[in-house]
Amino acid sequence: MSPERRRRVEELYRAALQRTGKEREELLARADPQVRLEVETLLAQRNDSTMTQLGPGFEIGAYRIEALLGEGGMGVVYRATDTRLNRPVAIKFLSDDLADAAGRRRFQREAQMASSLNHPHIVTVHDIGEWEGRQYLVTEFVDGGTLKSWAKRERRDWRQVAELLAGVADAVAAAHEAGILHRDIKPGNILISKNGYAKLADFGLGEMGGEQRRDPHLDRRDPGHRSLHVAGAGIRTDA
């Protein structure tokens, strides 16, 4: 395989890991057939060798696993208990596919980005560590699920939607003012507490200010711009 083709395969593979279902299918459908075949083979191999799930009661340092919350391109997320402070937390393990040197740097950068942003609408980072060669990130546990599940549970008043997304927009603006672009704002990365409070999560695709200038596809608007569009949330409102 030529270096150029290998680069294209790696880029498409990493992009595919960040998508599921129809979004992944559409991404692969637009790719070169030979590159797509290589990526589909890698994805199939990944499905055959995903991380063994940790069962309830398993302990990693001071953290006791309670349940699996979800799995995506960046890794696996569990609900756990911090036994030192007796509080619920979420633990995110880096995927095997991203455990190379570049993936580790990216994962550490996510922790540094999120922990540097002290904002009520951004998920708080508590800790970062490594277990059996796998890096993990410990954050606050948001108990209401994602924006998508919040929207599906019941019909929402337009005022509820406006108030919720205004908080997210304020979080985005705060990140921009700190020189950080999230780059992956979607319903799955917006968590909602049971009392209806929104929290922006997962800065794994963010870029620090020095890197964003090298990417021609990044939004170059005023960092203080507060407009926000979240595609795919499926929010229904009563006018």
**What CATH number did the domain enclosing 200 receive?**
1.10.510.10
153 and 229 assigned to the same domain = yes
Cα-to-chain-centroid distance, residue 218: 18
Higher pLDDT, residue 234 or 130? 130
Residue 108 lies in a domain: yes
159 and 135 assigned to the same domain = no
Q: What's the confidence (pLDDT) of residue 66? A: 94
Strand, helix or coil for residue 78: strand
Positions marked active-site: 184
Residue 53 lies in a domain: no
Q: How many CB atoms within 10 Å of residue 118?
A: 9
Look-up of token digits 């309830």: 56
Residue 54 lies in a domain: no
Structural domain harbouring 69: 59-140
192 and 219 assigned to the same domain = yes
Q: In sequence order, which residues have a C-beta less than 8 Å from that of residue 202 and are 6 or more positions away?
A: 74, 110, 184, 189
Q: What's the confidence (pLDDT) of residue 10? A: 83
CB 37 within 8 A of CB 43: no
The predicted-structure confidence for 38-92, as pLDDT tens digits, reads as follows 888 887 766 544 456 778 888 888 999 999 888 766 678 999 999 999 999 999 8
CB 58 within 8 A of CB 46: no
Query: What's the structural domain count of the chain?
Result: 3
155 and 126 assigned to the same domain = no
CB 167 within 8 A of CB 197: yes
132 and 105 assigned to the same domain = yes
CATH of the domain at 90: 3.30.200.20
Residue 198 lies in a domain: yes
Q: What's the confidence (pLDDT) of residue 78? A: 93
166 and 204 assigned to the same domain = yes
Strand, helix or coil for residue 107: helix
96 and 29 assigned to the same domain = no
20 and 63 assigned to the same domain = no
Global pTM?
0.64
156 and 206 assigned to the same domain = yes
